[in-house]
Amino acid sequence: MTINSDQKHTPMATLALVFVAIIWISPFSWLFVNAVDTQATGELRWPQSIGIGNFVSAMSGSAAQQFMNSMILALGTATMTIVVAAGAAYFLSRVYIPGKTTILWALVVMRMMPTNGVLVPIYFTAEKSGLLNPLGVMIALTILNLPFTLLLLKNFFDTVPLELEEAAHVEGASLWEILRHVVLPLSRAGIAVVWFFSFTSAWNEFLFPLIFSRTDSVFPMSMGLYSAFGEHGAIQYGFLAAYSIVYAIPAIGVYFLLRRNMNTGFAGVGVKG
């Protein structure tokens, strides 16, 4: 009876899945159709004239400069976050500090405050420090990322067996050698997750580049995508669609590059060798 009941509901489940698939696929279909249509009008229709002109426009001129600005911002923020968070998290993991768990969670709770709530003091601090530039954006995003990244990496370092470090120390390894040959290799899954989180958050950041950037030459793609809506009084749907696809590619590519390490997971990585 159970099998028959499942079979009875299979058509409804199939229809539901097809409906959900259509909802998900339709926006992507619009993107690809308009991106390859050199005469795109914003409608979901068969391309009138297929070509790569829209992609050429989305990867040249100011669009290419915005792509490079976004790459520099995302790579710089992710690397800076890893360096600072890994050092601090390892210290918190290995050194006894009364109430360190409470401190960490207090930082996380404070970070739950909307970014708009801390924007004004961060802006005036950056202005006084002469950091109203892309470097200032990287530092601001790194600071905002630290509570979550510290908590994630600290908990991950806790799973790395201390006996492995002690054995390396007995063999004469220095602290740097222990970190480089023991701790970091065993922590690559956690580092990959934190690096990916930092990269994507910086890649998609809009508010801080908008406030800190003073010239068009340093605008990232997030601001370029915003400008593509109605720039010069008209929307070029083909360019907008191609630009959106180019904008999404780096984050997807980084995920597939780090997928193996991220899929390893946190549990038990430290004891697999």
Flag whether 13 is in a domain.
Answer: yes
Flag whether 90 is in a domain.
Answer: yes
103 and 201 together in one domain? yes
Flag whether 158 is in a domain.
Answer: yes
Is the C-alpha dihedral spanning 129, 133, 137, 142 positive or negative?
Answer: negative
The pLDDT, as a whole number, for residue 163 is: 86
47 and 76 together in one domain? no
Q: How confident is the model at residue 2 (pLDDT cuts 50, 70, 90)?
A: very low
222 and 181 together in one domain? yes
Please state, in angstroms and rounded to a whole number, the distance separating the CA atoms of residues 80 and 78: 6
> Which positions ≥6 away from 19 have C-beta within 8 Å?
none
Please state, in angstroms and rounded to a whole number, the distance separating the CA atoms of residues 244 and 66: 13
77 and 151 together in one domain? yes
28 and 75 together in one domain? no
Per-residue pLDDT tens over the stretch 6-61:
445 577 888 888 777 777 777 788 888 888 888 877 777 777 778 888 888 888 88
Give the position of tokens 């426009």: 57
User: What three-state secondary structure class fits 37?
Assistant: strand
3 and 123 together in one domain? no
67 and 182 together in one domain? yes
Structural domains counted in the chain: 2
Report which of 53, 18, 21, 17 is spatially closest to residue 35, judged by C-alpha positions: 53
Average predicted confidence (pLDDT) for the chain: 82
Please state, in angstroms and rounded to a whole number, the distance separating the CA atoms of residues 217 and 99: 46
CB 183 within 8 Å of CB 90: yes
Most confident of 78-87, 89-98, 163-172: 78-87
Report which of 141, 242, 155 is spatially closest to residue 201, judged by C-alpha positions: 141
Flag whether 57 is in a domain.
Answer: no
Question: How many C-beta atoms lie closer than 10 Å to residue 96's C-beta?
Answer: 6
- Residue 131 identity: L
Give the position of tokens 């924007």: 119
Flag whether 222 is in a domain.
Answer: yes
Q: Which residue has the higher pLDDT, 130 or 227?
A: 130
45 and 67 together in one domain? no
pLDDT at 5 over 80: no
Per-residue pLDDT, averaged over 143-147, amounts to 89
Per-residue pLDDT, averaged over 149-176, amounts to 85
Flag whether 203 is in a domain.
Answer: yes
Most confident of 59-68, 89-98, 112-121, 258-267: 59-68
The pLDDT, as a whole number, for residue 231 is: 60
* Residue 21 belongs to domain spanning: 1-51
The pLDDT, as a whole number, for residue 73 is: 94
Report which of 240, 227, 85, 65 is spatially closest to residue 155, judged by C-alpha positions: 85
95 and 159 together in one domain? yes
217 and 196 together in one domain? yes
What is the CA angle 142-126-123, rounded to 5? Answer: 90
Flag whether 74 is in a domain.
Answer: yes
Q: Write the CATH number for 69.
A: 1.10.3720.10
Please state, in angstroms and rounded to a whole number, the distance separating the CA atoms of residues 102 and 82: 22
250 and 146 together in one domain? yes
Q: How confident is the model at residue 233 (pLDDT cuts 50, 70, 90)?
A: low
Per-residue pLDDT, averaged over 243-271, amounts to 73
**Structure tokens given for 271:** 């004891």
Please state, in angstroms and rounded to a whole number, the distance separating the CA atoms of residues 171 and 111: 42
β partners of residue 37: 50
Backbone phi and psi for residue 50, each to the nearest 5 degrees, phi listed first:
-85, 135
271: DSSP letter = G
pLDDT at 266 over 60: no
Per-residue pLDDT, averaged over 237-241, amounts to 86
Flag whether 56 is in a domain.
Answer: no
The pLDDT, as a whole number, for residue 140 is: 92
36 and 85 together in one domain? no
